[in-house]
Chain A
Amino acid sequence: MTQTSGTTPPETPTVEPSVAGLATMGTPPGGETAPRRGRVWRRLRRNPLGVVGALILAISIATALLAPLLAPYSPAAVHFDAPFQPPGTVGFGLGTDDLGRDLLSRILFGLRASLEVGVLAVVVALAVGVPLGLAAGYFRALDAVISRFTDLMLAFPFLILAVGLAAIRGASLGNAALAIGISQIPGMIRVVRSETLRLKELDFVAASVVDGAGDLSVLARHILPNALSAVIVQATVAIPVAILGEAVLSFLGLGIQPPDPSLGTMLAEAQQYAARAPWTAIVPGLAIVVVTLGFNLFGDALRDALDPRGSRR
């Protein structure tokens, strides 16, 4: 979302469901209506960059899932007779590192770990952020408390959080994901809260309250389904941030620990040999760039497709 653009209050990128709500007066619109979904899909397909992003995503997710089948070697397999082979070497398509480990195999498994952290982190952000965002937007009394909680989380930048977690619990994939996920909770709360604030003023919500629906039922049946598209956009934007976060933490030694393959640890190891074998630093880095670019392209396209104004701002 275009946060605080300075000249207008922050806006949320979703379609007003009020028309559908008014037409049916009190009966829930049941989230996304079918014609709207079709329109979003059409817009998404018409955006070439979005299609490219979606393709990159599909390929990276597929290769990550199928890594054990696709990788020519085990990521840990050492070939002492073939250290520092450049890309293009027969048998080692992307070259090898100082221990003769196949870079392609390591990247496939590293990608798997990156996506794992990305998804875990976003699950943490969703699990905490969505309920808190709904509560903050819907119940006025809770808004101030949740806002302080958000401020508090923001005061600990993700790397500092990761440092603290590593000190208390040790460095691992799980703790890296937790640190990244916690740092993404405030953004999720903010998006869900502003959607909830907007939706709860709409007629169909008021109508269902008049109908005697309880708070929880209004939240679950009307607000959450209609806030979903904003949540999906936020999650799509959060995953590449988490992937970069994992790479940074593993690079620093605060995330995935060697010898487990991770794009971050590969770069950390490559640092010593980069002058002699530059590909050991270039190839994993490019893998990160391509995957995050894919997510960012797709996320942008998704946001545009869901934006009722039809143009990007």
Chain B
Amino acid sequence: MRSYLLSRLWQSAVTLVLATIVVFLGVRALPGDPALAFAGEERDPASLAAIRAKYGFDDSLLLQYWRFVSKSLTGDLGRSTRTNIPVTDMLASALPVTIELSALALGVAIVIGVGAGVVAAVRRGRPAEWAANALALLGLSIPNFWLGLMAILYLSVATGLFPASGFVSFFEDPISNLHHLVLPAVVLGTGLAAVVMRQTRSSMLEALGADYIRTARAKGLGPQTVIGVHALRNSLVVVVTILGLQLGGLISGAVVTERIFGLPGFGKMTLDAVFQRDYPVIQGVVLVTATAYIVINFLVDLTYSLIDPRIRLAGVPS
């Protein structure tokens, strides 16, 4: 166990270092003078020289990289060239929105996906399985942003059941906050629900054919107990796995969903930065995403090894 943890930790650290190098070089790969990118509106030679000196663009790459890493570690990601607000502050106000949206979407995906997956596995070959499979296929084929547009069109604009856009902080008004997030969470969660459903179904089918289930049945346990207990345990594994595998998709999906529903989160911050060529913000966004991805996947693997002892015994999965 300890050696598994250590090697996994080492791998994550190496990946993280590589990711910082990619981000660092990415900024240097910008067309033209990086000082121009960071200058924003002020483009006279004097302020460009000042920026070059301030960011040390004339120093050696190694020294620049070192400065970039040590600054990032202390939470200094630079300032927006548009608003002059520190990138860290922007992240602090945008991330909670996105994290809440993603958590709710994950909840939607788990409820729908695990439910449909268990039904499809238990009712094999019956209409219920067929329906669950069809739903999963549709979930995989419908672009979530289109689903969002349709939801706004038919559930917000036409009926006024849900707000079409906007955001209210949970601490200001929890009910209104959830009301604003219902549609976005369902829209973001549907595609994920399809993936969860398929995984749940295949792992349930596998479990239902396994010896320990036969033993449980032979002991005289009712089908509900057998399915209930093992379904629960399996769904736990499925959900943890999905979180690791689909995290990238969840982040990408959140960006689009926020755009459609006008949520002031990480996605809006990212897209605004691209269209305004706000390079320090883009750099911060990419760095934070990569770091979050690596850290969360490390935690997922830890959890995974706690749930399923075969993983830590079999060594490091690559």
Interface residues in chain A, defined as those with a beta carbon under 8 Å from any beta carbon in chain B: 2-9, 143-144, 147-148, 150-152, 154-160, 163-164, 166-169, 183, 240, 244, 247-248, 251-254, 267, 270-271, 274-275, 278, 281-282, 285, 288-289, 292-293, 296-297, 300, 313
List 27 interface pairs A-B (beta carbons < 8 Å), by A numbering: A3-B241, A4-B245, A6-B238, A143-B318, A144-B318, A151-B15, A152-B22, A155-B19, A157-B248, A163-B270, A163-B271, A163-B282, A164-B286, A166-B274, A167-B30, A167-B277, A168-B30, A247-B143, A252-B259, A254-B274, A271-B149, A281-B150, A285-B150, A288-B143, A289-B142, A292-B140, A292-B142
B252 engages A157 (CB within 8 Å): yes
The 8 Å CB contact of A164, one of B15, B255, B282, is: B282
- 4 nearest A-B residue pairs (beta carbon): A157-B248, A6-B237, A159-B252, A285-B146
A residues near B143, Cβ cutoff 8 Å: 244, 247-248, 285, 288-289, 292
Contact A156-B22, Cβ < 8 Å, known A168-B31, A248-B145, A289-B146:
yes
A172 to chain B, nearest CB (A): 14
Q: Are A160 and B251 in contact (CB under 8 A)?
A: yes
Closest to B318 in A: A147
> Which of B80-88, B90-98, B173-181, B198-206 contacts its partner?
B198-206
> Looking across the interface, which residue of chain A has its beta carbon closest to that of B134?
A49
Residue B14 is within 8 A (CB to CB) of chain A in the complex: yes
Give Cα distance in the complex from A288 to B19, angstroms.
34
Measured CA separation A181–B238 after assembly (Å): 27
Residues of A contacting B252 with CB < 8 Å? 157-160, 248
A270 surroundings in chain B (CB, below 8 A): 149
Chain B interfacial positions (CB closer than 8 Å to A): 11-12, 14-15, 18-19, 22, 26, 29-31, 137-138, 140-143, 145-146, 149-150, 152-153, 157, 199, 202-203, 205-207, 210, 234, 237-238, 241, 245, 247-249, 251-252, 255-256, 259-260, 270-271, 273-275, 277, 279, 282, 285-286, 289-290, 293-294, 297, 308, 314, 318
Secondary structure call for the B interface: helix
Our pick among A154, A163, A168, A281 for the contact of B149 (Cβ within 8 Å) is: A281
Tell me whether A156 and B245 are in contact in the complex, defined as CB-CB below 8 angstroms, given that A8-B206, A267-B146, A271-B149 are known contacts. Answer: no
CB-defined contacts of A144 to chain B, threshold 8 Å: 318
Q: How far is the CB of B236 from chain A (nearest CB, A)?
A: 9
> Which residue of chain B lies nearest to A278 when distances are taken between CB atoms in the complex?
B153
Contacts of A2 in B (CB 8 A): 199, 202
- A contact residues around B274 at 8 Å (CB): 163, 166-167, 254
Contact in complex: B293, A281 (CB < 8 Å): no
Give the shortest distance, in Å, between B54 (CB) and chain A (any CB): 21
Contacts A274-B149, A275-B157 known; A6 to B308 CB distance under 8 Å?
yes
Q: In the complex, what's the smallest C-beta–C-beta distance from A7 to chain B, in angstroms?
A: 5
* Residue of A with least CB distance to B147: A285
Cα A88 to Cα B279 in complex, Å, equals 47
> In the bound complex, what is the Cα–Cα distance between A36 and B311 (angstroms)?
35
Nearest-neighbour CB distance to chain A for B309, whole angstroms, equals 12
> Are A159 and B255 in contact (CB-based, < 8 A)?
yes
